Amino acid sequence: MPRASDYLLEGSTYHLTHRCQNREFHLRFQAERNSCRQWLREGIGRFRVPVYAYCITKNHVHVVVHVDDPEAVAGLMHLAAGSTAKRYNLRKKHLGSVWEHPYHCTIVQDGHHLLNCLRYVDLNMVRAGVVHHPREWPWYGFDELTGERRRYRLINMERLLESLGTGDAPDEFAARHAAAIDESLAARALQREPDWTDALAVGTEEFVQRLKTCYPRRWTLNAACSHHGTWTLRDRPSPYGTIRDPKTGR
């Protein structure tokens, strides 16, 4: 797989997923999650990357960004991952990689699909059975999206609202997002949706077909309708996150 930044197209919104090496729980301690968030904040300020959502779990990180400059996004992710890994290795006397390389990039169409992506990210730790509600996990952007955190923010609400295109004021969006999360929890609509972490792009058919021409690479790209009119673009030969048995290769 090429560098993750090879996938980044200027002017697009992305859901970035970075997993710990072999899905180990290198972020299981609060200190590592705090360090990761601190370096995300530092990178956002240094590289001026608009961040729309984030979730730091015990073994992976989600960050939703808008790409004004692909190299800036690459710099943000490199700083956050590298600095977090350095601290972990020193603290735990750990040898070897902390993160899988590269992180995975999924282009998300602005508007309705971006809204769904935000909800999916904010339900991550509920889906994992760690908490009952997003507000119980401090390493989310949920409290920023719902207006519960006003200081030390990572999320660029002004740019996010532009990308959503709903015309909502920040308080209106906050109320709608909180209500949508509560509706998903009440309906137990918590199933994993691999499109957000396996696909190269998620959006309408027109959006996905247009993006096929933006990746002049040797691999075959498949566009397909996954569910409810949502289309995805996928890379072959294997989806992101596939774990193979070292003995059988399956």
Q: Which is higher by pLDDT, 17 or 6?
A: 17
The pLDDT of residue 189: 86
In the β-sheet with 60-66, what is the strand arrangement from edge to edge? 51-56, 60-66, 13-19, 104-108, 201-203, 230-235, 221-227
The pLDDT of residue 55: 97
Tens digits of residue pLDDT in 15-28: 999 999 888 899 99
Q: What is the mean pLDDT of the chain?
A: 87
- Asked whether the predicted pLDDT for residue 244 surpasses 60, the reply is no
Segments making up each domain of the chain, as ranges: 4-198
The pLDDT of residue 185: 96
The pLDDT of residue 236: 62
Residue 140 sits at φ, ψ, to 5 deg, of -120, 165
C-beta of residue 84 within 8 angstroms of C-beta of residue 41: no
Q: Model's pTM, two decimal places?
A: 0.88
Residue from 90, 88, 116 nearest 230 by CA: 116
Instruction: Read off the pLDDT of each residue in 109-137 and give the average, rounded to a whole number.
Output: 96
Strand 201-203 and strand 230-235: pairing? antiparallel
Report in angstroms the alpha-carbon separations of 231 from 23, 146, 194, 237: 28, 28, 12, 19
Residue 31 CB neighbour total at 10 angstroms: 11
Tens digits of residue pLDDT in 45-70: 999 999 999 999 999 999 999 999 99
CATH among 1.10.10.10, 1.10.3720.10, 3.30.70.1290, 3.40.50.1440 for 4-198: 3.30.70.1290
Tens digits of residue pLDDT in 160-185: 999 999 999 999 999 999 999 999 99
Residue 3 sits at φ, ψ, to 5 deg, of -55, 145
